[in-house]
Amino acid sequence: MQHRMHQLSLLLYKLSVVFFEVEILDAKTKDKLCFLDKVRPLHKYCVCVGGGTHPQWYAARQSIRLDPKGKSLKDEDVLQHLPVGTTATFYFRDLGAQISWVTVFLTEYGGPLLLYLMFYFRVPFIYAPKYDFTTSKHWVVHLACMCHSFHYLKRLLETLFVHRFSHGTMPLRNIFKNCTYYWGFAAWMAYYINHPLYTPPTIYGEQQVRIALIIFLFCQVGNFSIHIALRNLRPPGSKTRKIPYPTKNPFTWIFLLVSCPNYTYELGSWFGFTLMTQCLPVAFFTAVGFIQMTVWAKGKHRSYLKEFRDYPPLRSPILPFVL
């Protein structure tokens, strides 16, 4: 009797389930790439378009959209919860060759670390031959090298042991642009700071350097504290997003006023480094970084406001009450 009841319940379930027909078109040409019949309503939208016909389109490089020019759907979206009928049409766009975020960050941050040390140790072919493998006579040059190396070592270690990425990959082409930015600025700054004719700050002298060092270290600790706080918001393997709030760590109390304090502390670190070295390329790098981080912070701030109705209204994207 129980066996028959179980069979009957399964039959009723199958009759009650509405299956979907899914058609996937190329977002540019509108050509039909594939057609799937009897897809379950709780099936994830992300159907692998590759397979035997297009093996180059592995899952990470696929973008599936409801509209050819719309945003990519999330991996966790299911057919039943999408605004489509039982016959659904999706649009596919190739994102290009992908590379993992861990590889990207290790490459971006490893380059500046090595490049700066090459200028610091004055390897041949950088400056005049008589300066090969010599050291600067100014103690601020050695301090700047330690701070710069510490910053990028911290970034490398955070990439390996702290950060949890919501997206596993990024387009391979972007790594060349990013490396040009980080590596180029690192070489430009290092060339002048470690130049044999470099002169340290003279207006306020050692006092200026010491204050700058305090600002730099304070912001480095703050930046690390924010990264730990953000990491703890997302369990391993999860893509859930939560509103970040201050913790017992005083460096996180800035969350009361700022949505992206990791960028605030990052800006503070480079401001301190600029004050320490009093070098124009460093100031330029800080300014460009501030502009880029402001764009990122505003985007994330808008995302928070859109996603969470109870998001704290006093918060600004990157600078309290200002920006």
Do 138 and 76 belong to one domain?
no
pLDDT at 115: 97
Residues 203 and 121 in one domain: yes
Q: Is the same domain home to 82 and 104?
A: no
Q: Do 91 and 105 fall into the same domain?
A: no
* Whether residues 127 and 201 fall in one domain: yes
φ, ψ of residue 31 in degrees (nearest 5): -70, 145
Amino acid 247: pLDDT: 93
Please check whether residues 127 and 90 belong to one and the same domain: no
Q: Are residues 158 and 303 in the same domain?
A: yes
- Identify whether the C-beta of residue 19 lies closer than 8 Å to the C-beta of residue 55: no
Q: Tell me the C-alpha distance between 209 and 38, whole Å.
A: 69
- Asked if the structure places residue 89 within a domain, the reply is yes
Residue 42 forms part of a structural domain: no
Residue 44 DSSP label: B
256 and 114, same domain (yes or no): yes
Residues 122, 90: one domain? no
Is residue 11 one of the residues assigned to a domain?
Answer: no
Does residue 206 sit within a domain? yes
Say how far apart CA 95 and CA 61 lie, in whole Å: 5
pLDDT value of residue 167: 67
Name the residue type at position 265. Answer: Y
Identify whether 21 is part of a domain. Answer: no
Same-domain check for residues 134 and 159: yes
**CATH code, domain with 77:** 3.10.20.90
Residue 135 forms part of a structural domain? yes
Q: How many domains does the chain have?
A: 2
d(CA 81, CA 63): 18
Tens digit of pLDDT per residue, the chain (323 long)? 555 555 555 544 444 456 666 777 766 776 776 766 666 554 444 445 555 455 556 666 666 776 666 676 666 566 555 656 566 677 777 676 788 888 889 999 999 999 999 999 999 999 999 999 999 999 999 999 999 999 999 999 999 999 877 666 778 888 899 999 999 999 999 999 999 999 999 878 899 999 999 999 999 999 999 999 999 988 776 667 889 999 999 999 999 999 999 999 999 999 999 999 999 999 999 999 999 999 999 999 999 999 999 999 999 999 999 98
The pTM assigned to this predicted structure is 0.80
| Residue range of the domain that includes 73 | 54-96
Residues 83 and 128 in one domain: no
Say if 39 falls within a structural domain: no
What pLDDT, on a 0 to 100 scale, did the predictor assign at position 13?
Answer: 45
Helix, strand, coil content of the chain in percent (nearest 5)? 55, 10, 35
Decide: helix, strand or coil at residue 21.
strand
Tokens 């510490």: give the residue: 150
User: Cα–Cα distances in Å, from 15 out to 21, 36, 84?
Assistant: 16, 19, 21
Q: Let me know if residue 226 belongs to a domain.
A: yes
What count of other Cβ atoms lies within 10 Å of the Cβ of residue 294? 17
The answer to whether residues 86 and 127 belong to one domain is no
